[in-house]
Each structure stands twice: as structure tokens, then as C-alpha cells.
Amino acid sequence: MSGPKPPPPIDDDTRAYWAGLARGELLLQHCRDCGHVQFYQRALCGRCLGARVEHRPASGRGSIYSFSTVHRAPSPEFKDDVPYTVVLVELAEGPRMISTLVDTPPEAVRIGQPVEIVYDRVSPEVTLPRFRRAATPTTS
């Protein structure tokens, strides 16, 4: 029996990110000084150290940069989930993120495959950004 998964420890850097996901928006940070787009959320720009980083909704589209189907659960909480496919998604805006695929059999997963975001509400506070196969390719 899988127990509940520990909730992500939300902090001042990431509060807006999780609030965005809860209302159905994947936020990326854009630097108003140098134009850098970054993931994950920080209080400063990882390229120029400027503090003027603002959250903007991402398209939610991207492609599979790499993947791995997990057959052995990392901890008891994930035992009921295996096999699941972890994906490294390259977003249309440039940054990459870790997620899992939904509605996709492991044997159908390919690097380069277009994907789109699915908002998976696991609690009132936590909505996880997952991905599914997209019909049309992204224009990244």
C-alpha cells in the first residue's frame, strides 16, 4: 500500500510557481534586464544576477529531451505507480524540466516527441505539472 507522497516544501522563491500551477499556469521566470528565461524559480537571474525577474505563463508545450521508464519504485510511496515514465522535457521557451508522462504506454515514448502540459491536482495546494503526447509539433 502506497502512503501519501511528501508535499513539496514551498518557500518564498517558489510560492508564485505553485500558485500558478494551482490555477492552471506553468510560470517561467523572465529577466527584465538580460532577457534570460529560467527554470527553476529563484530570487535572482541565474545569468546576470539581476533581481528583476518576473513570472510569465509558459506555452505548456515542449518535446521529450530524454526519458526513463521506472520499474523499481524509489520509495514505498511510488510502489503503486510503477511502471511510470520520467521525462526530461525541453520547453518551447528553452528551459528543461523533470516530469512524468501520462496517457502514454512506455513502448510508445520517443526522444523528440512533442508533449503538452497536464495539470494534475494532487491537493488544494499542490498541482503537479505532468505531460502527455501532443498531436502537433511545437515551434521551438
* 16 touches 29 (CB < 8 A): no
CA 24 to chain centre: 12
Count CB neighbours of 17 within 10 A.
21
3-state secondary structure 66-114: EEEEECCCCCHHHCCCCCEEEEEEEECCCCEEEEEECCCCHHHCCCCCE
CB of 111 vs another protein, minimal distance in Å: 4
**99 is a contact residue toward another protein (CB under 8 A):** yes
Site string for another protein, 4-23 (x = CB under 8 A): -xx-xxx---x---------
Q: Which of residues 64-93 bind another protein (CB under 8 A)?
A: 65-76, 78, 81, 84, 86, 88
CB of 136 vs another protein, minimal distance in Å: 22
What does the binding site for another protein look like in residue numbers (CB under 8 A)?
Answer: 5-6, 8-10, 14, 39-40, 65-76, 78, 81, 84, 86, 88, 95-100, 106, 111-112, 126, 128
